[in-house]
Amino acid sequence: MRILHIGKYYPPYLGGMETVLRNLAEGLLDRNCEVTVLTAGDGPQEIIEEVVGPDTGRRGRLVRASVYGHLNSQPLTLTLPGLIRREAARLKPDLVHLHLPNPLAAASWLALGAVRSCELPPLAVWYHADITRQKVGRLLVQPIVKVCLGRAAGISVSSATLAANSPVLAPWKEKVGVIPFGIESVPWMDVEPSLDGPFLFVGRLVPYKGLEIFLEAMADLPGAEAVIVGEGPLLASLSALVEKLGMEGRIHFAGPMDAAQVAEHMAHARALVLPSVNASETFGLVQLEAMAAGVPVVASDLPTGVREVGEPGRTCLLVPPSDSGALSQALGGLMNDSGKAREMGAAGRLRFEERYTRALMMDRLLDWYDSLLTTDRKGTP
């Protein structure tokens, strides 16, 4: 099977969408598929690299498009329509898999569809999230996204909650398939958790991650420590809040880290904390990393896929979003009951193996691809 993926960015860029795209591309290569990935780069030069399946060494093509600036969080990849046409002609894909939100990519695909001489393969869409933060931008791009979704042969999402609750997906519920995210077990299952160290946060330092709530909760736990892994625009204000709350020496900003380094911190963490405050957090991929490492999770009970990942009370604790008191109580409970923390960590590792490995994700994805292609060959709408 030949698949052309169109994403926003690709690692080493950090983020959930980027991690998912890498896992999909590498996983497809290891299943003997031919793969090309087309994303934005970081400057005016187009860059061509390789993607390698870690198990088989099979190689695919990664094209990073020229970027001429940014509008909000959208990279201006003005050459994208031509690149899609070029790479589709080169690969002759059975399917094109477009990752949204990425309005310019959606518009590029629709523009190519309007060219009579351009024959396009069936379109699959992985819909990662609704646009929630940019209200004006959402109104401007929503018509483009809706047309793109309407023309897609199928739409995949990571959780039943997103499929059921997204107003954007509501008109096309019958063609939405749920494929939970999955990750490689390495390096996460290579560590042996001690659960006797600081609490751990891993992610971008941005408003929706709820780090202010986390710090307020930590202020009510004298002696407790936390490591915050990641970078972002809130670093200065969060550092100031730590000083204001008198927690210097207890809160450690560790900066960005690679997976192996994060896994080492996971090995000693009392729990992973995901204190996000709104639906911009649609899944929380880092939860899978913690579960694979045998570490309990304390997360916000958001009306998104976040609440589907773990099993409350068994692998995780869910607390109301933006409630520092409830978060502090949950963290304090794990500090005072190490036996419970070990039980939750072990149950989380088992749940990961049963539901969230990359192999399981690839099985589901390839079954879904086959169903789309079978329907397309039959000529069924």
pTM for the model stands at 0.91
- Whichever domain contains 252, its CATH number is 3.40.50.2000
**pLDDT at 133 (0 to 100):** 58
Tell me, yes or no, whether 255 and 334 share the same domain.
Answer: yes
| pLDDT tens-digit map of 214-235 | 999 999 999 899 999 999 999 9
Beta bridge partners of 156: 126, 177
**pLDDT at 134 (0 to 100):** 52
Strands of 59-65's sheet in order across: 47-52, 59-65, 34-40, 2-6, 95-100, 123-127, 154-157, 176-178
| pLDDT tens-digit map of 35-47 | 999 999 999 999 9
Tell me, yes or no, whether 35 and 173 share the same domain.
Answer: yes
Tell me, yes or no, whether 103 and 72 share the same domain.
Answer: yes
Domain carrying residue 153: 2-183+358-378
Tell me, yes or no, whether 242 and 260 share the same domain.
Answer: yes
**pLDDT at 142 (0 to 100):** 83
Taking 50 as the pLDDT cut, the residues of the chain under it are: 136-137, 380-381
Tell me, yes or no, whether 268 and 211 share the same domain.
Answer: yes
Tell me, yes or no, whether 111 and 238 share the same domain.
Answer: no
**pLDDT at 259 (0 to 100):** 93
Tell me, yes or no, whether 153 and 273 share the same domain.
Answer: no
**pLDDT at 88 (0 to 100):** 95
| Cα–Cα distance list, 255 to 12, 258, 344 (Å) | 15, 10, 28
Tell me, yes or no, whether 173 and 200 share the same domain.
Answer: no
Q: Which secondary-structure segment (H or E) carries 108? A: helix 103-113
Tell me, yes or no, whether 209 and 330 share the same domain.
Answer: yes
